[in-house]
Amino acid sequence: MSKFWSPFVKSLVPYVPGEQPKMIRLVKLNTNENPYGPSPRAIAAMQAELNDNLRLYPDPNSDRLKQAIAEYYGVRSEQVFVGNGSDEVLAHAFHGLFQHGKPLLFPDVTYSFYPVYCGLYGIEPGIVPLDEQFQIRPEDYARPNGGIIFPNPNAPTGRLLALEAIERILGANPDSVVLVDEAYIDFGGQTAIALVDRYPNLLVTQTLSKSRSLAGLRVGLAVGHPDLIEALERVKNSFNSYPLDRMAIVGAAAAFEDRAYFQRTCQAVIDSREQVVAQLEALGFDVLPSAANFIFARHPAHDAAQLAAGLREQGVIVRHFRQPRIDQFLRITIGAPEQNRALVDTLVGLGVGS
């Protein structure tokens, strides 16, 4: 703390990202990165862009990328917003769409950046408990609010909410923005982007960090009614005109255009997930049904914090949250086949399942 800080800064409780260890040779299954690299076409596009043009500012509107996304989803460019990671897109949505002096509804077990943005933008959190099976109950979201946000599939549970259930939430809240954070939708869910033309209160965000393996590039997007997109543009253009650099614009656009690579790598992650689930269940874990590139699992005979520490000593890093309701769970990213094998072998070595 310092006398130079604005008083408000003293009250902030920042987000704590998963560890990015400097040690090499770790089996890193803690931040839901993709084990397969980005599309070779995305890499080539970025390499071609690495030239003297870098002295020039990028397109402030990222039109090339918005067009690629609009084409991919069959929407219009004015229904698309892009930002420096979906975290930035979410921040602009909190700022531009959720400050109505009423609580923002979100689940008790969810992405921990939501309460952080509530603190940053002076929004009251309206915490809605998940049911006993860690599922969102649509009927719980029919109460006064200044907006609603949840990931689908939810993080860190991995549980998917069906589009009909999302439609029930949208229908019950015609005067609020409902933001569906689809960071993991490509690993087995159906995108709610199909609903944006019917629900002017629906905003869908996605990221290129997970299914498109570009966490290091920092690109996220939102799709919704042009009026919602315009709010995000107004906030963005009052904050940073150039959130996406030249490399990010062409690399992200190429990633959307390379559908074959995308489908192949997502399917490989999904296939590995089903294998890991079966192997962990054979070791006695309870695993929540996952539609994401991670699983959320607990073992009735082993303390989660101790398991995480034991794995870590053997160079396998998973995520453990010291939080009510979920402190006996581990969130484990699906890695490459040899990483998943190392996870299971290390658990066996720790005596799990014997």
Binding site for ligand PLP (CB under 6 A): 85-87, 111, 151, 155, 181, 183, 207, 209, 215, 220
Q: DSSP characters for 138-173?
A: GGGG-S--SEEEEESS-TTT-----HHHHHHHHHH-
Region at 287 (left for phi over 0; alpha for psi -120 to 50; beta for the rest) = beta
Q: How far is the CB of 280 from ligand PLP (least distance, A)?
A: 21
Place of tokens 């975290």: 87
User: What minimum distance in Å lies between the beta carbon of 202 and ligand PLP?
Assistant: 17
249-269 as b/e: b if 16+ CB within 10 A: bbbbbbbbbbeebbeebbebb
Instruction: Return the biggest CA–CA distance within the chain.
Output: 62
Kindly tell me which of 184 and 310 has the beta carbon lying closer to ligand PLP: 184
- Cα separation, 251 vs 206, in Å, equals 16
Q: How far is the CB of 215 from ligand PLP (least distance, A)?
A: 6
Minimum CB distance to ligand PLP smaller for 141 or for 299: 141
- The minimum distance between CB 20 and ligand PLP, in angstroms, equals 12
Q: How far is the CB of 351 from ligand PLP (least distance, A)?
A: 31
SS3 70: helix
Nearer to ligand PLP, 42 or 344 (CB): 42
State whether the Cα torsion 243-245-248-254 is positive or negative. positive
Q: Which is nearer to ligand PLP, 222 or 304 (CB)?
A: 222
Closer to ligand PLP by Cβ: residue 28 or 302: 28
